[in-house]
Amino acid sequence: MATLRAAKELLRKQVKLKVAALSDEEKQRQSVGVLKTLISHPKYVSSERIAVYLSTNDEVCTEEIIKDIFKCGKSCFIPRYEIKTSHMDMLKLSSLQDIETMPLTSWNIRQPPEDDNSREEALEGGGLDLILVPGLGFDRLGRRLGRGKGFYDIYLKRCSRHPKGKPYTIALAFKEQLCQEIPVDDNDMLIDEVLFEDDE
């Protein structure tokens, strides 16, 4: 267990350095490419209820994706992380402007405040069709290197208990986040597909 933790920590440092070396222009360029691939993806096109993360500077930018979700008349859900635990909910967003009124967490991510109970939580309603998953690193077999808190792994396990079943999961990545192989254990949930700019 300790060996796995150490291997993950080392990989996190390596991937963070690679992403930190990218210019803002390059991150934007790759984000646009990933967006184009995503919005023509059959799973995205057929999904009505989509959960998406609000991106930070070291992640594929999701702002245009959120705009597209609303433009297509789909329902958009975003994460609310409970920082002291590993609990996360996916709460419904009413509009793009809705995000701007939300407070920033200590991680510099906007999210609905803890006392905001007026929003639909995806799993208490009709479940989710698709989750766009963040992460630090991914491999081509769908193994994901998160930030070590387990938010998404635990949430995906909750999803699999919903009557609708586990939603399709797509990770959005810069090509610099692709790893040869990511060490995982039984708690790590696999991602169905990783979208990135492929040079091949």
Is 59 within any annotated ligand binding site? yes
Is 158 within any annotated ligand binding site? no
With H, G, I as helix, E, B as strand and everything else as coil, classify residue 168.
strand
Is 29 within any annotated ligand binding site? no
Is 54 within any annotated ligand binding site? yes
Is 48 within any annotated ligand binding site? no
Is 145 within any annotated ligand binding site? yes
Is 12 within any annotated ligand binding site? yes
Is 11 within any annotated ligand binding site? yes
Is 10 within any annotated ligand binding site? yes
Is 91 within any annotated ligand binding site? no
Listed residue (21, 23, 62, 20) closest to 44, CA to CA: 62
Tell me the C-alpha distance between 73 and 170, whole Å. 20
Is 152 within any annotated ligand binding site? yes
Residue 87 Cα distances to 50, 90, 115, 157, 170, angstroms: 19, 10, 15, 12, 21
Binding-site positions: 8-12, 54, 59, 144-152
Binding-site positions for ATP: 8-12, 144-152
Binding-site positions for substrate: 54, 59
